[in-house]
Amino acid sequence: MMRGIVSTFRASGSVSQAIQLALVATPLVIALLTSDNALLDSLNQMLIWAALALSWNILGGYARQISVGHVAFYGIGAYTSTLLALNFGISPWLGMLAGGALAALIGALLGSATLRLRGPFFTMATIAFAEVVRILAVNWRSVTRGAEGLAIDSTPNLPGFVFGQARSYVLVTWGLMAVLFAVSKYLDHSKTGLRLRAVRDNEDAARALGIHTFSLRISVLAVSAFFTAICGTFYAQYLLLIDPDSVLGVDASLQMALMAVVGGIGSAIGPVLGTYLLVPFGQVLRAQLGSQLAGLHLVIYGLGLVLVLYKLPNGIWPAIEAALKRRGRASRQRSGLPEEDAR
Amino acid sequence: MSVDLAVENLNKRFGGILAVNGAGLRVASGTIHGIIGPNGAGKTTLFNLIAGSFLPDSGRILLGARDITALTPERRCALGLARTFQIPRPFSGLDLLDNVAIGCLGRARTVGHARQLAHEVLESLGIGRYADTLASALPIGLRKMLEVARAVATAPKLLLLDEVMGGLHGDEVDRMIETIRRINATGVTVVMIEHVLPAIMSLAAQVTVLDQGRILCSGTPEAVTQDPAVIAAYLGDEVLA
């Protein structure tokens, strides 16, 4: 995997790579420098969203299967690790792997039933699926306690994945995001990544070249579901309270997709960038306008999204990268150097 | 590394049109077999059935001893069947090398290995210098070569070529003829649909003529082109009257 990542870095321009690394590292640096709890709190929320957007992007970006039901996996992760901890005393560190595995399994089953559907039909099936999981969580009261939700004991302890300091949360969540960033990079430049590019470009040609498109999509969905569930555990351990609204609401499904789309799907840094812009934007708007006119901050937020996607339909990162390429070419021409080799 | 192909009594109906009507075909291992016929004769549909893009309504397709009638295209590829598309379908966001590398993935350990194998394929077809060109920027002649290179990359035993000469200039046609001859010389059985008759005449050992979904006749190129039924199909009955 290491070699894959290294060759990845050689693959594209060094300026682009530097920006990407800086973007990934920035929250870590801020977390180490500040002791402002409100800032750390915002930072942690942002990092969870970034990890979610990255998880979603594995399916939505690399396989171009647009899911608006990913919150189901998020909820499955949060509920699985929390229930295992509350009922059997199993550490959430292990419980999140169980939740991830369960989500991957359910994702594979969902995929084998729905991934033959194309375009909007797959998307609609994911919405229905998420709704089923949510209704199950609301009504299976003997296990989930329904709308009341589940509370986690807030005594700080490492095996229980409960920290006393906001900074500790930021550090582990940053770790999760960094892992997801690396996994995304690796996936993109692996054999699987090349196969996914082929399927994205032309499915018939891909199949004629021996690519098992259907099972490829199912495995990508399973991986995406696995990581989305892990994010669910991180969220549960951070809030120490989960209920169907918070971890199974349709808003979260849309949010993680939106962040990836605004940043640029199909790249590893796009979802990260999208999250960095949208989460603080949303928080600032709510803080400034939330008390003035109900819903005004959401209207402005929505208008902002429309504007960005109208101007940059492929998202923000692809536009930045194209600009970097143009600049690189111009400066090479000025200095009389030959064109940089594409590989 | 070659294999024979048998198509038995194949039928495919699209609505009211019988696109392929009781077609039968035998292609001997290691040979080049031409398929000709007027536009709309069902040639490409026949190819799509052999390659697995469509499933036939009835009939059988045998690759060697193996019945592949119901297999998916990707399974057929794994068994050694490769095809090109009449209208090139490059992975347009990728360069020529990666297009071909995707064909090599099945027999490569890593992406690097696949690219290395792809380089070999490109060199063997004499188009190595375009390796870094984006597929969307390739002219039609090279897109046709891309189709062939990508198919060859899967290390096929049977290669289906769907009008790879269409739209090519004279010297490009000559180069393509040479390329196909070389591929066949490595033991690959070739079945080719072609409108460029001189190419078929110089390459194919056997030719099958398709008209309105039916096999009109099969034989050597010389025999087939002199068959009155074939002339009638291409030029109309009046010519013979």
**Nearest CB to B93: which of A201, A209, A342?**
A201
Written in H, E and C, the secondary structure of B51-119 is: HCCCCCCEEEEEECCEECCCCCHHHHHHCCEEECCCCCCCCCCCEHHHHHHHHHHHHCCCHHHHHHHHH
Residue A293 banded pLDDT, cuts 50, 70, 90: confident
Residues of A in contact with B108 (CB under 8 A): 191
Residue A340 banded pLDDT, cuts 50, 70, 90: very low
A177 or A307: which leads in pLDDT = A177
- State how far the alpha carbon of B234 is from the alpha carbons of A264, B35, B40, in Å: 53, 14, 12
Question: What pLDDT is recorded for position A336?
Answer: 57
For residue range A164-214, what is the model confidence (pLDDT) as tens digits?
A: 888 999 999 999 999 999 999 999 899 999 999 999 999 999 999 999 999
Question: What pLDDT is recorded for position A328?
Answer: 76
- Other CB atoms within a 10 A radius of the CB of residue B125 amount to 20
Q: Report the percentage of chain A scoring pLDDT > 90.
A: 58
- Tell me which residue of A296, A294, A258, A298 sits closest to A282, measured CA to CA: A298
Give the highest mean pLDDT range of A95-104, A235-244, B160-169: A95-104
Question: What pLDDT is recorded for position B239?
Answer: 52
Q: Please state the rounded mean pLDDT for residues B172-187.
A: 93
Distance linking the first and last C-alpha atoms of chain B:
48
What are B191's two structure tokens? Answer: 């079945």
Please check the confidence at residue B241 and state whether its pLDDT lies above 50. no
For residue range B6-59, what is the model confidence (pLDDT) as tens digits?
A: 999 999 999 888 999 999 999 999 999 999 988 888 999 999 999 999 999 999
Q: What is the DSSP string of A217-259?
A: HHHHHHHHHHHHHHHHHHHHHHHSEE-HHHHH-HHHHHHHHHH
Domains of chain B: 5-89+156-240 (3.40.50.300), 91-137 (no CATH)
- State how far the alpha carbon of A33 is from the alpha carbons of A167, A169, A176, B108, in Å: 10, 15, 20, 47
Reduce the DSSP state of residue B218 to 3 states and report it: strand
Reduce the DSSP state of residue B219 to 3 states and report it: strand
**8 Å CB contact between A52 and A231:** yes
What is the nearest CA distance from B237 to chain A, expressed in angstroms?
Answer: 39
Among A176-180, B7-11, B80-84, B234-238, the minimum mean pLDDT is found in: B234-238
Across chain B, mean pLDDT equals 91
Instruction: Give the DSSP letter of residue A116.
Output: T
Q: Please state the rounded mean pLDDT for residues A216-238.
A: 96
Buried b / exposed e along B127-142 (16+ C-beta atoms within 10 A) = beebbebbbeebeebb
The ipTM assigned to this model is 0.90
Among A223-227, A292-296, B140-144, the minimum mean pLDDT is found in: A292-296
**8 Å CB contact between B158 and B81:** yes
By CA distance, what is B98's nearest residue in A?
Answer: A194
Question: What pLDDT is recorded for position A184?
Answer: 95
Residue B238 banded pLDDT, cuts 50, 70, 90: low
Question: What pLDDT is recorded for position B108?
Answer: 92
Question: What pLDDT is recorded for position A15?
Answer: 87
- Tell me which residue of A227, A214, A326, A324 sits closest to A271, measured CA to CA: A227
Question: What pLDDT is recorded for position A332?
Answer: 67
Amino acid identity of residue B204, one-letter, is A
Gyration radius of chain A over CA positions: 21
CA atoms within 13 A on the CB side of A109: 7
What is the nearest CA distance from B230 to chain A, expressed in angstroms?
Answer: 32
Q: Please state the rounded mean pLDDT for residues B83-90.
A: 94
Question: What pLDDT is recorded for position A335?
Answer: 64
Strand partners, B18: B13
Strand partners, B160: B83, B191
Residue B60 banded pLDDT, cuts 50, 70, 90: very high
Cβ contact (<8 Å) for A208 and B114?
no
d(CA B73, CA B82): 9
Across chain A, mean pLDDT equals 88
**8 Å CB contact between A93 and A159:** yes
Question: What pLDDT is recorded for position A342?
Answer: 42
Q: Please state the rounded mean pLDDT for residues A328-338.
A: 66
* Domain A2-335 bears CATH identifier 1.10.1060: no
A301 or A4: which leads in pLDDT = A301
Question: What pLDDT is recorded for position A334?
Answer: 65
For residue B55, report the phi and psi dihedrals to the nearest 5 degrees: -100, 140
Question: What pLDDT is recorded for position A343?
Answer: 41
A254 or B241: which leads in pLDDT = A254
**8 Å CB contact between A77 and A232:** yes
By CA distance, what is B80's nearest residue in A?
Answer: A210
d(CA A5, CA A26): 20
Helix, strand counts (H, E) of chain A: 16, 2
Please check the confidence at residue A3 and state whether its pLDDT lies above 70. no
Cβ contact (<8 Å) for B97 and A202?
no
A134 interfacial to chain B (CB closer than 8 Å): no
Which residue ranges make up each domain of chain A?
2-335
Give the residue numbers in B contacting A (CB under 8 Å), as ranges.
51, 53, 72-74, 77-78, 82-83, 85, 89-95, 97-98, 101-103, 105-106, 108, 110-112, 114, 132, 150-151, 153-154
Please check the confidence at residue B134 and state whether its pLDDT lies above 90. yes
